[in-house]
């Protein structure tokens, strides 16, 4: 496993997005726990969760409790594992994703996450999404207060644009350590945000990093394509071609490409099976040649 940094903390260069373990199509408890344990066995030290990762209408925190149980029952050392969670979104019974960014709500949500995770302070707490009904500085101010109170050690923001990143950085300084936006070969709207993170020294945590290669968990259970599958026609055929040439999965090539985009990138692919996260973790050691990177970037349209 290779490593990168988040707020000065050394973490595995590939993390685990735990959301698929708790939302629609989730595995049973045994497989979910085995998936987290497989990630830890593979050297993954960044686990991403959120209070809203649960089935519609359920009590918040299913995924946080699951991650906490998995860490508690793991036979190895978990001292270096960074658990990052998020607050500010909800999942009512209709299956929608709501946004609530008031300081009162965020502080209450962080307190509840603390208890569910069973920690003295949350390693990295992120505003899940800006609330258009709440001034952005007020939501970020709640993160500042949580930092001052010692309830969270580092702060991050998610689903934000360049202007919001700059405003959050102005308020939090070096206590803002990460930005978590959607980014993949198929979805590159956050290219400017990635460049700004590199400029400011912020970790960039792409969610749904396998877009175009695998389905997002938001679209339902993902499906891995075998290397020999040529009937996918995703528009990203070079990723599959390089995978066949290297004898690895297209997903692994995708994650290796993301890592090559910038040293601040720490992708957090989702997984609901032990084999899937083991494969994803292998991307940390897959070094693409400059020619392969150029070939993939042409197809992904980087710079276009």
Place of tokens 């995978």: 243
- Which residues participate in catalysis according to the annotation? 53
Eight-state DSSP code of residue 166: H
Among 10, 87, 14, 85, residue whose Cα is nearest residue 269? 14
- Strands (E) located in the chain: 3-6, 9-12, 16-17, 46-48, 82-87, 89-90, 98-99, 124-127, 155-158, 176-180, 203-204
Residues 40, 34: Cα–Cα separation, whole Å: 10
Question: Which residues make Cβ contacts (< 8 Å) with residue 25, sequence separation at least 6?
Answer: 217, 220, 221, 272
Residues 216, 223: Cα–Cα separation, whole Å: 10
Beta bridge partners of 3: 12
Class of residue 181 by CB neighbours under 10 A (exposed 0-12, middle 13-18, buried 19+):
buried
């Amino acid at each position: 496993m290779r490593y990168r940094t988040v707020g000065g903390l050394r973490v595995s260069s590939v993390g685990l997005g735990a959301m698929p373990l708790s939302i629609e199509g989730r595995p049973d408890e045994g497989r979910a726990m085995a998936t987290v344990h497989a990630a830890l066995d593979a050297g993954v030290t960044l686990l991403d969760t959120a209070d809203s990762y649960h089935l519609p209408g359920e009590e918040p925190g299913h995924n946080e409790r699951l991650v906490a149980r998995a860490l508690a029952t793991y036979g190895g050392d978990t001292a270096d594992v960074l658990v990052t969670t998020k607050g500010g979104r909800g999942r009512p019974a209709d299956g929608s994703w709501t946004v609530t960014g008031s300081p009162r709500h965020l502080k209450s949500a962080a307190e509840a996450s603390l208890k569910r995770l069973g920690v003295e302070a949350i390693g990295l707490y992120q505003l899940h999404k800006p609330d258009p009904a709440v001034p952005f500085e007020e939501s970020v101010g709640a993160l500042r207060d949580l930092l001052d109170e010692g309830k969270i050690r580092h702060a991050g923001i998610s689903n934000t644009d360049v202007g919001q990143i700059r405003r959050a950085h102005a308020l939090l300084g070096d206590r803002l350590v990460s930005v978590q936006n959607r980014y993949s070969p198929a979805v590159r709207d956050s290219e400017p945000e990635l460049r700004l993170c590199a400029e400011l020294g912020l970790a960039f945590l792409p969610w749904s990093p396998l877009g175009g290669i695998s389905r997002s968990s938001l679209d339902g259970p993902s499906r891995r394509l075998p290397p020999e599958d040529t009937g996918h026609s995703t528009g990203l055929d070079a990723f599959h071609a390089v995978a066949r040439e290297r004898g690895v999965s297209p997903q692994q090539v995708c994650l290796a490409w993301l890592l090559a985009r910038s040293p601040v990138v720490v992708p957090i692919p989702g997984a609901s099976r032990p084999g899937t996260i083991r494969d994803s973790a292998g991307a940390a050691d897959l070094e693409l040649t400059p020619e392969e990177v150029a070939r993939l970037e042409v197809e992904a349209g980087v710079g276009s």
